A and B are shown apart, each in its own frame.
Chain A
């Protein structure tokens, strides 16, 4: 199971990095989502993988899994959800105003305008 989880984290991260580097807003947003999925699974694994064990006190339980990473993942999910929403709105704003969905470096024209 460790191999499976590690491979999934690696695959999600690779996909996320590749998409983020494409520097177009849709790809970047999907890429950042992949990265945040990878992080969530990784955080989950940081409390050690213990399938089928409860995180809260239960007299019938044979053992427990660490509840803290689950709380951390919950926080991380909420934050990344909010951040993605903000990014989608801002990227849409840029696209509607300029017709460009590039998230790469500003064109030289932009710098001239600042003068």
Chain B
């Protein structure tokens, strides 16, 4: 039997609650429960992946456009898998480096974060998407300031304020959407937005841009990226590694709304999303690469690498063709693991001392992946994107290629600073290399099995561009 779609939300929520009740003072038990929950999520995702997609469920059995719907298609399962795999690796690293001892409740907050992420990917209802955004944000507020300290708290306050303004915009956008269409179910919206009278086109365009701005804040698209470098650099390294997937929530939401609710074929919005996302993506990539060059300290370089990866991703997604979306999804998976590995190595290089040989080797491999050099998956991802955006080649190619060079220079400089000139480590502490090695193995696997992975992602992208199955599955819940 295939598990219910709601289980990836309930499992971490229940784990967090049980942790708080029975394992408050027992860190080992919390670690075991956290890892068990993350492993359970991996198993659930595998179950979903072999089942027939898309699937939908009506929560509380309320009929479709009125009740809350959970729906899963290829994109949902891909994102759930990304979160579950990253969660396992990050929890292994936390176990090794003991960052969870810095303050109370790291593991419950981590589980609530997973619950929010899974919920955001599973929901088929725009307002529930807002609610799960808030769940994942409130957990992330706790994680950002985990361990305390004035600098972390200051960065945390700026992060919270930015996201609260974002949430306000989200609600205004949803209010306009509801006022114009009378529904918030995404599959139902897809039909209603296509049928809007010409008089409402201006209103729905305003709502579309407001929602895009919210997702751009989450994804850290320039000029709404300003919250990211300070927050990620100040957050504990393991938390920052998990946050590598947080910017992807914004990308996911843009894909979902851009394909289902405001697809390029709809008269009211047309190519609005594509027109805005291409320049924003190019600018983000440039700012990210220049930021990497100008940043001091490995955490900050990794934070700007996250921004640059968002830029590259949105250059691909703004193509709005099945080929470009498939290339974007490949790069999305690659960049999540590559940036997470960079954050974990920042932590390791601080703990193990900068002259540690294994750390230097891992850093070199990760830098190759992040900058997009052969032979790792970053190169394939960028190649696929360049190929898919042949239509906009005069702007896309020079920017992507030049920024790759800038990123190489930035990472080489960082490497020579860290491994050739460095002094003694701040706090020498044992920490194993397991987690970054695992992440790099995933990248190697993505490179070796690029063919089958590409075919699977082509299928996901094709389903996104022609969401009739998704809509029919949700509407069958009447």
A residues in contact (CB < 8 Å) with B = 20, 25, 28, 32, 35-36, 39, 42-43, 45-48, 68-69, 72, 75-76, 79-80, 82-83, 86-87, 90-91, 93-94, 97-98, 103, 105-106, 110-111, 113-115
Contacts and interface: CB of A to CB of B under 8 A. Distances in A.
Contacts of A69: 175, 178
Contact of B296 (A20, A97, A115): A115
Contacts of B155: 106
3 A-B pairs closest in CB distance: A46-B179, A46-B175, A97-B150
Nearest to B156: A90
B157 A114 contact: no
A43 B175 contact: yes
Nearest to A110: B151
A45 B171 CA distance: 13
Contact of B154 (A32, A86, A94): A94
6 contacts: A36-B168, A72-B175, A72-B178, A83-B167, A106-B151, A111-B296
Contacts of A110: 151, 154
A86 B138 contact: yes
A28 B168 CA distance: 14
Contact of B141 (A20, A39, A45, A86): A86
Interface residues of B, dominant DSSP = helix
B127 A75 contact: yes
Interface stretch (B28-36, B74-82, B158-166, B250-258): B158-166
B297 A115 contact: yes
Contacts of B165: 20, 32, 35
Nearest to B142: A86
Nearest to B297: A114
A98 B149 CA distance: 10
Given A83-B134, A97-B150, A114 B145 contact: no
A26 to B, nearest CB: 12
B172 A39 contact: yes
A85 B466 CA distance: 43
Nearest to B180: A46
A44 to B, nearest CB: 9
B195 to A, nearest CB: 19
A92 to B, nearest CB: 9
A94 B150 contact: yes
A73 B233 CA distance: 35
A46 B167 contact: no
Contacts of A91: 157
A80 B165 CA distance: 11
Contacts of B171: 39, 42-43, 76
Contacts of B299: 114
Contacts of B300: 111, 114
B131 interface: yes
A39 B157 contact: no
Contact of B157 (A25, A45, A72): A25
Contacts of A87: 157, 160-161, 164
Contacts of B138: 82-83, 86
B150 A106 contact: no
A114 to B, nearest CB: 5
B153 interface: yes
Given A69-B175, A83-B160, 5 more contacts: A28-B161, A32-B165, A43-B171, A45-B179, A110-B151
Contacts of A46: 175-176, 178-179
A47 B131 contact: no
B153 A42 contact: no
B233 A114 contact: yes
B300 to A, nearest CB: 7
B288 interface: no
B236 interface: no
Contacts of B176: 46
B124 interface: no
Contacts of A47: 178-179
Given A83-B167, A115-B296, A103 B175 contact: no
B230 interface: yes
Contacts of B174: 43, 72
